[in-house]
Structure 1
Amino acid sequence: MFKKLIGALLLAVTFTTPVLAAEGGMEWDRAPNRVNHVASLQNGAKLFVNYCLNCHSANSMRYNKLTELGLTEEQIKENLLFTGDKVGELMHVAMSPADAKAWFGAAPPDLSVMARAKAANMGQDGTDYIYTYLRTFYRDTSRPLGWNNLLFPNVGMPHALWNLQGPRELETVDIHQVEKDGKQEWHKIVTKVDAEGFKSVVSDDPLPEYHGGASSHSTLKYLDPSKQAQYDNDVADLTAFLGWMSEPEQLLRKKLGVWVLLFLGLFFIVVWRLNASYWKHVK
């Protein structure tokens, strides 16, 4: 029975791990786990207020809740309050719903529990989605707002962190069939979207000996590589804050979970020995 249970668990892991790839979307990168790093959460809170709170609200979070991250109310007032809000108020957005609909087509979603809402049903944490999403924006002149995203194609959101990221180019390698002289033949086509968002074909080479299937792979390249490490670090901090905001009590919950598992383990040993003692004289 025990072996069957282990086998079932292994099968479940095998078939649910690549869910995202099987559905046709790109796989999510793993976000650094910084929910225990106070400095990272404080930097993430600063980035959230400066870059996200202009359009996105966090209506389930109060400013004074940030004192749990080691900030004083005076620091919150001086560094994170810019619209006359009081430290005990909710993180409302200054933009009206009417303006949001006119500018973006729909009001940007509230981010209070976005990290939990984006969690995969059978896979990764929602912070992995946010971390990947914020690192896959690129310029695209064909879009109304001038930006696109590899994880969320044709996204209706501008890239709020573009000045932190710096210019990047998108290179895409496609292998697919094209018709030539009435015949289908495989071609490798390399296209580039430059830092200004203009698309061009870099090369188009026939593959006469190719026997595989169609494929597509995109790579984002920094024109200033020195910005990559700092940008990834800032996105990791912002992601950590969004993860913390979606469940501020998660650290306490995890600590309690460890103690509960330890108790159940010890209780199992007691029950097991009690059961052995009870049945040892029964034949």
Structure 2
Amino acid sequence: MAITVAAILSSKSPFSAPFGQRAQAHNAKMLFRRGDSDVLTVYNAYIAWKRVCQSTGTSGKEFQFCRKNFLSQQTLANIEDLKGQLLVSLADSGFLSLTDEERRALSRLRFAPGGRNRRQQQFFDVPQRVNINSDNDIVSASIIASSFYPRLLVRDTPGTKGLRNIGNNQSISLHPSSVNKNQLDIKWLSYYHIMQAKTVYHAHETTAVEPFSIALLCGDVRCDMYSGVIILDGNRGRFSVPDWKTMLVIKVLRTRLRELLTRSFKQPGKLPTAQQEKWLDVWQRLFSQDFAKDKQVGSITKG
């Protein structure tokens, strides 16, 4: 999933809004809404398009699907092509381990004719063993926020439209096409970039993120045991925790995850140790859907 998201962010939006049909186009986009995220919404549309392309008897169905949902067929194809290029780069650099059969399949995709010479859209399915969290929106949103950091917005007053960029305290609005435009209960949002429109600054490609994810994965933090507060990068964010045990768990988890990431970057392709596998398992359990409904995540709030 992460590779597809990277390809999406490197392309223009596949959603179109023809003049005179913007309301219909927005409604069509909202049907793909996922995880309070503009990024995951595009990913959801991509998955639906891919499913149509791979179904039997697709003659004309792809065109009808894209037309009905105000999607650019060419942009979606470009996203798939770019995803293939990124996969090749990851495999060649050792970050993605593939079997001989998977490498041959990727090679066939790499040298397949493109553009107008292509008779049918070609796809390479990422092995499930490295795509186990693709259906977990909490994990996806957490990784997106960590990758985008420090591009974070916070809503200081719940129920209002006002958002603040934690990097420079600038007031920011969401782009009118964002799926989060009217979601006034969302506290934290990551964003990909900001563009100025007259006197207003609009954040694009926003994703709602849990406070726990920020405290665990983003920036550098200082743990104030006495006051029970985790302080992010000086004072960009403050998160209160229910007790010292929770704070200690977050501190240890941050350290172990940093060690694991550093090792994977320095030694791509090398499998994690048994101890690191255990820490990865703990991380995945924490970000399971059941955990999101538990008291632990909800207990961490802006101080």
Tell me the TM-score normalized by structure 2.
Answer: 0.23
Query: Greater RCO between the two (CA within 8 Å, min separation 6)?
Result: 1
